[in-house]
Amino acid sequence: MVRWKTKTLKPEAPEKFSQSEPSAAETGAPTTLATMSSKAAVLNDPEGVLELIELFFFAYRDFVGDADRLLSSYGFGRAHHRVIHFVQRRPGLSIAALLDILKITKQSLNRVLKQLLDKGLVEAREGSTDRRQRLLFLTKKGSDLALELAALQSARFERVLGNMPVKARDSTAEFLFSMIDHDQRGQVQQHIKDARSYKNESAA
């Protein structure tokens, strides 16, 4: 297994925005030469950003493709995978917390959860302090699938990171964290902290 030192990622202070003038699109004003010049600069791509966008797309395509092939044998898709993954990482996750992570509607989550519940991969239990609360846990069958999916995707990371310099590997987590919206970084850090805490408690 590839191991590397993980830096403690600190969410950046939120930017202070001053009230700005409305855009040309908002006011109905004609497109200016400056706007046209900005679009032309993007197309010229002097910094290679468009190439990075394409590389990100292709990397994600192949990364999720590893799991897609296994999921399809169960009649599942990526929405099912996300639920299985996060419940495996944090057993007892509430439906409200899962909705906050996935940023999807309750109706969409209910459809996916029903399928996972019906196939015996997930179970919902009453909260210990609030019986109206539903806490999610994987069954043995669900946990086996979650670990099989994680093994597929971990293998790709380990293979790639194993061929990269240590310094480049150390920068990977920082880069991915920086891609997250400013106002979501604290939530992501808390999720990772909670998942690590559960892992450490299970290993103890």
Mean pLDDT value of segment 44-63:
89
Nearest to 161 by CA among 150, 170, 151, 174: 170
Q: What is the mean pLDDT of the chain?
A: 84
Q: What is the pLDDT of residue 15?
A: 43
Amino acid identity for residue 35 in this structure? T
Q: How confident is the model at residue 153 (pLDDT cuts 50, 70, 90)?
A: very high
Dihedrals phi, psi of 203, to nearest 5 degrees: -80, -20
Q: Is the pLDDT of residue 5 over 60?
A: no
Contact 63, 56 (CB under 8 A): no
Which residue would you say has higher pLDDT here, 126 or 77? 77
CA distances from 93 to 20, 84, 125 (A): 40, 11, 10
Write down the domain spans for the chain: 48-163, 164-204
CATH topology of domain 48-163: Arc Repressor Mutant, subunit A (1.10.10)
Measured distance CA(59)–CA(105) in Å, rounded: 27
Which residue would you say has higher pLDDT here, 203 or 113? 113
Mean pLDDT value of segment 68-84:
96
Beta bridge partners of 122: 138
| Burial (Cβ within 10 Å: 0-12, 13-18, ≥19) of residue 7 | exposed
Mean pLDDT value of segment 178-201:
93
In this prediction the pTM is 0.76
Mean pLDDT value of segment 129-147:
93
Mean pLDDT value of segment 27-50:
66
Q: What is the pLDDT of residue 129?
A: 81
Q: What is the pLDDT of residue 37?
A: 61
